Amino acid sequence: MFRKILVPVDFTPKNERALRQARELAALTSGEITLVHVVETLEDEIDADLAGFYRRLEAKAEEKMAASLAALGEGDFSQRSAIVLGHRARAITDYAEHERIDVIVLSSHRVDPDQPGHDWMTISYKIAILARCPVLLVK
């Protein structure tokens, strides 16, 4: 069963649905929810000139993460968070593999039936393809 649940967050209202679903899953197994936010980097290696810029982004993300953790509320599950630097899809799937996550729960947009392949390169689609664990896309 899914005990280690990862929820990527970008601090937008669309995350609320994924957070609710993760909370329900975690309550079933007394599991652990990990919220992860990726600070998108410009390049693969962090330039020393940009290090301060990324530290400021991380600090702002930490503040917002506290609110996201509080939104999960109390329950029969544990919670933690992480902020990582990198390219979003790869950073999330790498984190999930490193932490031995059982399932990734993330928000996804509704597909336009008139253009079903139009949005295939979204972050949620990339994660669904790249992840080695199950992925639950919440619409």
- The reported pLDDT for the residue numbered 104 is 98
* Stretch among 46-60, 66-80, 86-100, 113-127 having the lowest mean pLDDT: 113-127
Region 14-25: what's the mean pLDDT? 95
- The reported pLDDT for the residue numbered 51 is 85
The secondary structure of 64-88, three-state, reads HHHHHHHHHCCCCCEEEEEEEEECH
Q: Where are the domains of the chain?
A: 4-138
Tell me the CATH class for 4-138.
alpha beta
More confident residue, 95 or 125: 95
What six digits make up the tokens of 6?
């990862």
- The reported pLDDT for the residue numbered 42 is 84
- The reported pLDDT for the residue numbered 114 is 75
- Please provide the average confidence, as pLDDT, over all residues in the chain: 91
In the block, residue with structure tokens 């996804």: 108
Confidence label for 49 from pLDDT (cuts 50, 70 and 90): confident
CA atoms within 13 A on the CB side of 19: 22
**pTM of the full structure:** 0.91
More confident residue, 96 or 109: 96
CA pair distance 99, 37, nearest whole angstrom:
15
The answer to whether the Cα torsion of 67, 59, 125, 89 is positive or negative is negative
- The reported pLDDT for the residue numbered 47 is 74
Does residue 19 surpass a pLDDT of 90? yes
For 105, other C-beta atoms within 10 Å of its C-beta total 26
